[in-house]
Copies of this chain bind each other. A is one copy, B any other.
Amino acid sequence: MAGIKEIAKRTGLSLATVSRVFNNSALVSPTTRQKVLKAAKDLDYQPNITAAALRSGKSKIIGVIVPEVNNYFFSGIINGIEGIVSESDYNIIIAQSHESQKKENEALNSFLKLNVEGILLSISKQTTDFSSIKKILKSKTPIVFFDRIPNLDSVNSVTLNDYMGAFMATEHLLERNCKNLVHIAGDPNVSIFNDRHKGFSNAILKSEQIGVTATSIELTTDVKKDMKILKTLFKSNPNVDGIFAYGDEVGLHVLNLLKDLKVNVPEKIKLIGFGNANFSNLTQPKISTVDQECSQMGELAAELLLQNLNNKNAKPQTKVLSPKLIKRASTQV
């Protein structure tokens, strides 16, 4: 593992010239370039990124923060990011906020200490204080938000049109002739869950079908308690024939609950989730859902960041992806 010093010695050139070769400077003759490249190969040259980072101020590191890695959605995004970044000469470093504002801030801080050149961030559910984020924005370190974005002006973001996804899911239930719909809603403080709720409500408003009823129920985080609540709901309300769950996991819980209650899906009640989780395709019946295009989201976010890295004056961009309805057995006629 040699550095440019050894190459300089071997070729008889100066450090400066050798360095220029690896920085693709045009100011070097083809012959010397060849000489250097050959020596580099012979000596197994490995650039010392740390030294380059110190001198140039460019660490070649992109920091990524997600709430949880152990989540099909976020790990799909990470794969998307990786796909794009690996084609550049940047490295990525991944941190998890575990939905905690404190850990998110800690991660942002260690990113700054590591001199990351850019940041990709999906904020935690808990994040309501944007001061750390504002600090980053002020520091001019390029940052792109994805999926869960802060309510701030002039920031780069890539999101899914959650409203549209929920709208499509609800419309799908209506098309399947469901008349008494229930939306199992997520924490409304998280913008995307709120959007899904809105999509549900508006789909029903805009469909001009008569005799349609709509109920929304917001869950806690205690699955057992939640299932009890839902059990009561279904028992006291036997006409329910369509359910839109804000996520596939809760959808699966509901599916199991309905089996326990001997309610057939999709014959009696049709069920649709959100997210296209890996297991949604493995249940019986398979759960209809909305695909979040996570890989594409990661790719777009990474591309946007790379653009900003190349051009510090790039204007903030807002990209919104369209979700895709996935019809499966749980909403079959």
Contact = CB atoms under 8 A, between A and B. Distances in A.
A280 B153 CA distance: 43
Contacts of A256: 282, 284
Nearest to A286: B256
Interface in A80-134: 82, 86, 91-94, 96, 106, 109-110, 112-115
Interface stretch (A28-36, A69-77, A188-196): A69-77
Interface stretch (A11-19, A49-57, A175-183, A312-320): A49-57
Contacts of A59: 50
A252 interface: yes
A41 to B, nearest CB: 14
A264 interface: no
Copies, count: 2
B54 A50 contact: yes
B282 A115 contact: no
Q: For the side of the interface on A, what is the size category?
A: 35 or more
A256 B106 CA distance: 44
A307 interface: no
B76 A282 contact: no
Contacts of A68: 75
Contacts of A283: 283
A75 B69 contact: yes
A53, A69, A86 — most chain B CB neighbours (10 Å): A69
